[in-house]
Each structure stands twice: as structure tokens, then as C-alpha cells.
Amino acid sequence: MSMIAKTPKPPYYAVIFTSVRTEVDEGYAQMAGKMVQLAAEQPGFLGMESARDGLGITVSYWDSLEAIKHWKNNLEHREAQKLGHEIWYSHFKTRISKVERDYEV
């Protein structure tokens, strides 16, 4: 993804997923693509930004904490989380933040 997400006027929420990959690539790209598509179909999804250069950071934007909870508990997403824990990530952390202000230059 190379675009900056177009988000609405705050407040809204950001889920920040920071990760370090293992050397296992099998199935990762396909699952990552599927999760981007699936997230975009979820109620309350506002956009996503992602970068990886050793350390991976994906930020997804949501209109409510309830929407985030539904995404976290989505069955296909839960399977991706399980595989991530088991084979694709050596370390990761998820943070949820409320965006109270944003601006563009």
C-alpha cells in the first residue's frame, strides 16, 4: 500500500500493529492480501496504511471501538492471527489509540 488513508474528521480510532517477521514466507503474502480486502469490507473500517523494512507497521483506522472488536473477532481474521502467532511473526504488538486531531501539509 502506498497511499495515505483518507480518514474523516476526528475523532476516530487507530489500530497500530507493529511486527517482526520470521523467515517463514509460506502463505504470508496471500493471507496479508486477503486480510486487507476483508478488513475493507468490515463495518466501521476507514482506511489502512502499511510499511515494512525489517520492522513492519500497519495502521488501520476505524470509526468505533465496537468496529475494532468485531474485526478482532472475525473468524477469518482470527485464523490469520493464529498463523501469525505460530509461524509468521517472531514478535508483535498491537496498540489501539483514539485520534483526536489530524492535519495535512
Do 80 and 17 touch, CB atoms closer than 8 A? Answer: no
**Rounded mean pLDDT of 4-16?**
96
Whole-number Å distance between alpha carbons of 78 and 72: 7
What are the cell numbers at 92? 508483535
pLDDT digits (tens, 9 = 90+) for 44-70: 999 999 999 889 999 999 999 999 999
Whether the full predicted model's pTM is greater than 0.85, yes or no, is: yes
Domain boundaries defined on the chain: 12-99
Assigned CATH class of 12-99: alpha beta
Q: How far from 91 is each of 45, 47, 54, 80, CA to CA, in Å?
A: 25, 24, 12, 15
The backbone torsions φ and ψ at residue 39, rounded to the nearest 5 degrees and listed phi first, read -60, -40
